[in-house]
């Protein structure tokens, strides 16, 4: 259980750092995907805390799991976007 909480805090912090970096670069795709990651990290934290402290509802567990899937998908898309952009800059 503690591992879930620590990994959730790390994901939220990582998403916040990416949001900060993307907003400084003024790249719309990076900013938008990082906003999605931050929002769904908040959703995952809220549903996880509600699941843990109030009721053991399967829907809350599913919402938390789907939020993490969306977060990691956003991170994967961000990573591929940055890699493609890096390759294009190196070729120029």
pLDDT per position as a tens digit, 35-71: 888 899 889 888 888 888 877 778 888 888 899 899 8
Looking at the predicted structure, is the pLDDT value of residue 18 above 60? yes
Q: What is the DSSP letter of 54?
A: T
How many separate domains does the chain show? 1
In a domain, 61, yes or no: yes
Stretch 19-26: mean pLDDT, rounded? 77
Task: Specify the residue for token string 């934290």.
Answer: 45
In a domain, 1, yes or no: no
**Residue 70 lies in domain:** 20-87
User: pTM for the full model?
Assistant: 0.77
In a domain, 8, yes or no: no
Instruction: Give 75's Cβ-side CA count (13 Å radius).
Output: 18
Confidence band, pLDDT 50/70/90 cuts, at residue 88: low
Of 63 and 8, the structure prediction assigns the larger pLDDT to 63
């Amino acid at each position: 259980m503690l591992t879930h909480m620590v990994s959730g805090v790390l994901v939220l912090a990582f998403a916040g750092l990416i949001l900060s970096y993307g907003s400084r670069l003024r790249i719309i795709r990076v900013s938008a995907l990082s906003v999605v990651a931050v929002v769904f990290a908040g959703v995952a934290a809220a549903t996880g805390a509600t699941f843990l402290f109030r009721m053991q509802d399967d829907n809350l567990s599913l919402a938390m799991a789907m939020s993490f899937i969306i977060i990691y998908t956003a991170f994967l898309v961000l990573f591929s976007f940055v890699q493609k952009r890096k390759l294009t800059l190196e070729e120029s």
